[in-house]
Structure 1
Amino acid sequence: MGNPSIAVLVPCYNEELTVGKVIDDFHRVLPEADIWVYDNNSSDRTGEIARAHGAHVRFEPRQGKGNVVRQMIRDIDADYYLMVDGDDTYPAEEAPKLLQPLFDDVADHVVGDRLSNGTYGEENKRAFHGFGNDLVRWLIKVLYGFEFNDVMTGYRAFNRVFAKTLPVLSPGFEIETELSIHAVDKRWRISQVPIDYRDRPEGSESKLNTFSDGAKVLRMIFSLLKDYKPLSFFCILALVAIVIGLILGIPVVGEFMATGLVPRIPTAILAVAFCGLGCLFFTCGLILDTIVKGARRQWEIDVVRAYEDGK
């Protein structure tokens, strides 16, 4: 492909201290790229400064990073997309490394890995962020079978077909987790590129709330498990229900075997109910799994059409 178009996506909320430098750095490193800044209800001069530094600036009224990314993908057409935060924590000099696997056609989604080379641990001083990232990585490995080196990174690159077939559901900071799980579930080619990371400059504050946003991320993981792998999700619920039923029912069965009597009828009824609920969960999982497989077949057809439209 000659002269591919590159769009640098910069979601911003109150980043007047750093957005100008971020734009200048990407203009210098990727002079051929279009830089798009979406101002997400900033109360400072973020949009004004971004426009003065030569970026395309648009306004997104729905609060939350996920809402911004969703609208960016809808609005902007490019061959390749590079998503980066506007807080100047991700060096623009790393951008060619993220784009190269896309240029070489060996990846559809590239993840900027801050953790492997240790720079995130050295620079980031916010408590529990490292623990939260490790927890999310572990859950995705257990539930989805893929090991990410860094899930919560905001520095990513992807091609046009990945972008245009991406159903963004999350409204906020869960977007990184959703991108990662979508890439794994739909079997996109994933490349993980180690990058340097630097902490925010003095005076710039993170908008991420460790506990409330962390809870949203965990909820997103299990919500997508229900949507993408309903059989696994409902088998877990079925197992829990049946185990409870057995815990309640085994003593009752033991008493009946010993005495021929069932003195605890309410407990016996409750045990049967939990076992029946487990069977119901399992049946729901089988039905929904069939539906999801049908939707996946249709999605694969849509991806082929998206490739053809891009030629």
Structure 2
Amino acid sequence: MTDRIAVLIPCYNEEITIAKVVDDFKRSLPEAAIYVYDNNSTDATAEIARAHGAIVKREPRQGKGNVVRQMFRDIEADYYLMVDGDDTYPAEAARELLAPLIAGEADMTVGDRLSNGSYGEENDRAFHGFGNDLVRWLIKFIYGYAFDDVMTGYRAFNRTFVKTMPVLSSGFQIETELSIHAVDKRWRIVDVPIEYRDRPEGSESKLSTFEDGAKVLMAIASLFRESKPFAFFGWIAFVFFALGLIVGVPVVLEFFQTGLVPKFPSTVLATGLVSCGALAITAGAILDTVAKSHRKMWELEVYRVQQESMHKHA
């Protein structure tokens, strides 16, 4: 591999594992530059990483999404491999993740912990598997693409993907955002099965199952609204129309039978609900036009970045 490869390791209080992670990737990818971004650690993460040969930078804005945003802005490479600093992902799989990118067969590869069952065997934290399945189902339902593992922290990207990825998340929603961006923008995605291992004793996860899970669901809703506004507001309109019919149909039937409208409050409520549905449809149609315009501009930016990368290698 003659192309430049950058290994990106966002870290917060990983002094127990970071030395092994850096050493493993230096051994598996000796040609790669290894970057550790320290996110306000209160332990010796940065010092240990630097002592083991990593390029250490600091990101003062707390949250994994903030770290990834700055990494994507700062680092210039042809291929990027992103991995957590908790020693749960095997460095030995790095070349398998990079191979489809280098062959021009993928724009993003995903380290899949689920299909071979290793995540279920190693991870004993309640509801993590359920949360991953729920997010996978939502993405499949909304976008029609079935990820094998949507929440994995082990991924690889080519330069065009990284330099045209608008990172909006601040925290652990970043994995979901990367997945939805890849599907919505029709990037080529390849799932690569990997052997997951749980954190070593003394190393603690920073992920809050319920708090971060709620943030992930909110991120999915927000990205759905932005990327597919007509479908998003169409569902809202459907709910309003359905409620309007439930309330209004008895009023209409009674009017045809008696010629009277005795349930005036129900009439007003039904009219209001149907009007809200019509407004939702109108908002969706307008925002859909805006979204398509933004998509065209983004496609042109992709062309520009690709041409820039080609000129670098010419």
**Match runs of 1:123-138 below 5 Å:** 123-138=122-137
**Match runs of 1:228-243 below 5 Å:** 228-243=227-242
Residue number in structure 2 paired with 1:168: 167
Residue number in structure 2 paired with 1:104: 103
Spell out, residue by residue over 1:270-306, the C-alpha distance to the aligned partner (whole angstroms, 9 max, x if none).
1011001101100111111111111111111110000
TM-score when normalising by structure 1: 0.99
| Equivalent-residue separation in structure 2 for 1:221 and 1:297 (angstroms) | 22
| Equivalent-residue separation in structure 2 for 1:256 and 1:117 (angstroms) | 62
TM-score when normalising by structure 2: 0.98
Residue number in structure 2 paired with 1:93: 92
**Match runs of 1:154-165 below 5 Å:** 154-165=153-164
| Equivalent-residue separation in structure 2 for 1:37 and 1:57 (angstroms) | 5
Residue number in structure 1 paired with 2:80: 81
Residue number in structure 2 paired with 1:262: 261
Residues 1:310 and 2:309 are matched in the alignment: yes
- The one-letter code sitting in structure 2 at the alignment partner of 1:133 is N
**Match runs of 1:17-36 below 5 Å:** 17-36=16-35
Q: What is the CA distance between 1:187 and its match in structure 2?
A: 0.5
Residue number in structure 2 paired with 1:214: 213
Residues 1:39 and 2:38 are matched in the alignment: yes
**Residue segments in structure 1 that go unaligned for 5+ positions in a row:** none
Residue number in structure 1 paired with 2:247: 248
| Equivalent-residue separation in structure 1 for 2:294 and 2:129 (angstroms) | 36
- The one-letter code sitting in structure 2 at the alignment partner of 1:40 is N
Q: What is the CA distance between 1:255 and its match in structure 2?
A: 1.1
Q: What is the CA distance between 1:85 and its match in structure 2?
A: 0.1
SS state at 2:169 partner: coil
| Equivalent-residue separation in structure 2 for 1:264 and 1:310 (angstroms) | 68
| Equivalent-residue separation in structure 1 for 2:69 and 2:306 (angstroms) | 20
Identical positions, percent? 67
Q: What is the CA distance between 1:155 and its match in structure 2?
A: 0.2
- The one-letter code sitting in structure 1 at the alignment partner of 2:254 is E
Residues 1:286 and 2:280 are matched in the alignment: no
Q: What is the CA distance between 1:163 and its match in structure 2?
A: 0.1
- The one-letter code sitting in structure 2 at the alignment partner of 1:132 is G
Q: What is the CA distance between 1:268 and its match in structure 2?
A: 0.1
SS state at 2:162 partner: helix
Q: What is the CA distance between 1:107 and its match in structure 2?
A: 0.1
SS state at 1:127 partner: coil
| Equivalent-residue separation in structure 1 for 2:304 and 2:102 (angstroms) | 21
Q: What is the CA distance between 1:258 and its match in structure 2?
A: 1.3
SS state at 1:9 partner: strand
Residue number in structure 2 paired with 1:54: 53
| Equivalent-residue separation in structure 2 for 1:33 and 1:232 (angstroms) | 43
Task: State how many pairs are aligned.
Answer: 310
| Equivalent-residue separation in structure 2 for 1:240 and 1:143 (angstroms) | 17
SS state at 1:193 partner: strand
Q: What is the CA distance between 1:209 and its match in structure 2?
A: 0.3
Q: What is the CA distance between 1:164 and its match in structure 2?
A: 0.2
Spell out, residue by residue over 1:3-48, the C-alpha distance to the aligned partner (whole angstroms, 9 max, x if none).
1000000000000000000000000000000000000010100000
- The one-letter code sitting in structure 1 at the alignment partner of 2:38 is D
| Equivalent-residue separation in structure 2 for 1:12 and 1:289 (angstroms) | 38
SS state at 1:157 partner: strand
SS state at 1:70 partner: helix
Residues 1:200 and 2:192 are matched in the alignment: no
Q: What is the CA distance between 1:267 and its match in structure 2?
A: 1.0
Residue number in structure 2 paired with 1:224: 223
| Equivalent-residue separation in structure 2 for 1:190 and 1:231 (angstroms) | 25
SS state at 1:78 partner: coil
